Amino acid sequence: MNLKRVVVTGIGALTPIGNTAEEFWHGLSTGVSGAAPITKFDASLFKTQFACEVKNLDVEQFMDRKEARKMDPFTQYAMISVEEAMKDSGLDLEKIDKSRAGVIWGSGIGGLRTFQDEVTAFSTGDGTPRFNPFFIPKMIADISAGFLSIKYGFRGPNFVTVSACASGTNALIDAFTYIRMGKVDIFISGGSEAAVTEAGVGGFNAMKALSQRNESPQTASRPFDKDRDGFVLGEGAGALILEEYEHAKARGAKIYAELVGGGMTADAHHITAPHPDGLGASSVMKIALEDAGLKPEDIDYINVHGTSTPLGDLGEVKAIQQVFGDHAYKLNISSTKSMTGHLLGAAGAIEAIACIFAMNKGIVPPTINHFEDDEAFDPRLNMTFNKAQEREINYALSNTFGFGGHNCSVIFKKYK
């Protein structure tokens, strides 16, 4: 089969360190932490009292109040980030074949706020089953893709991938595959999450997954640091417009990067813990390299999953050394979750955007909050600690891994 080329022609971001793609990149490149005390609810009784929330957002600047009330925040975030990406792409909706345009979105949890509020209201009431008629449509994860297709009239494939924290990258790979095979010309893809709720924080606390560094939220996400104690919960969305290369070229689109390879594997090991030897992580990077027709030494930068958990960080670095051998010492490696926190199902989308900016700007965003080396990590590895580094990046790889053992890797090529 003659596979089509796939390029990125629009980006949009709504994150804890910036409410547009450019603001997001400015935060990344200057090492800004998005962590702060939780404002969405009273967290004083919780073990973790901080998160990386979206800040200074007025949803009614993007949609009217009546429309907003039909959406859980995770869908609102999707709509806002995609609006930016669509404007950025320059697509003329009157001139494209909408039957060959689709939406593949990602969300690990979906409408958690809606689910929590409705069930709480019922359980604290008199037992009469009074539920909002929008309860189910607001809660279900696929509704984000549904709203997006309705807004833009895209009649092609339309669904949401749910693979925990790998969901956003999973969505990009699925969209990439459809375009590559010639079935679709354009996809809206990416991911969104809005899990900074009592249920979200309480649930992750119960698993002992979150950092509890309440005295210093801004320094709590510290991937690869000896004193890392868990991830920082984040929220937001990232959107990418993926387009078949000839279609993009014919309309004179600006092209940010080319998506050249992807891989998906499973650890088949544990519901939450990664494989201790990085087995699934190493195999997914190998598959992505093979899919892209690249050698390990072609990669310049890896945006790692790097959540700031003791086991996860170690397993991923083991996998990188297995796959890249001596070239691992020539790579730049960084975890942007040190700044954004962990956006769960949206993580892969915003980290893909981070890779694209890094290539186009020639700057590797840092892993901030590094205070003490962990002797478990090879000191020869360049983790880009604390400060951005200038570097020419021709190929960037992004890893995202999820509870359940889901592993996804994508590779972007600098467009010249």
Q: Which two tokens stand for residue 247?
A: 């279609």
Answer yes or no: are the C-beta atoms of 35 and 217 closer than 8 Å. yes
**Rounded to whole angstroms, how far apart are CA atoms 285 and 275?**
15
349 phi and psi angles, rounded to 5 deg: -70, -50
* Three-state secondary structure call for residue 192: strand
CA dist 290 to 242, 262, 307, 345, Å?
21, 9, 26, 25
**Rounded to whole angstroms, how far apart are CA atoms 263 and 282?**
11
**Rounded to whole angstroms, how far apart are CA atoms 29 and 363?**
7
Answer yes or no: are the C-beta atoms of 382 and 331 closer than 8 Å. yes
**Rounded to whole angstroms, how far apart are CA atoms 265 and 51?**
30
DSSP 322: H
Q: Which residues carry out catalysis?
A: 165
Please report which residue ranges of 71-230 form alpha helices under DSSP H. Answer: 73-89, 112-123, 135-139, 143-152, 167-180, 198-206
Q: Long-range pairs for 93-99 at CB < 8 Å and ≥24 separation?
A: 93/152, 93/153, 95/251, 96/185, 96/186, 97/185, 98/152, 98/153, 98/154, 98/155, 98/156, 99/155, 99/156
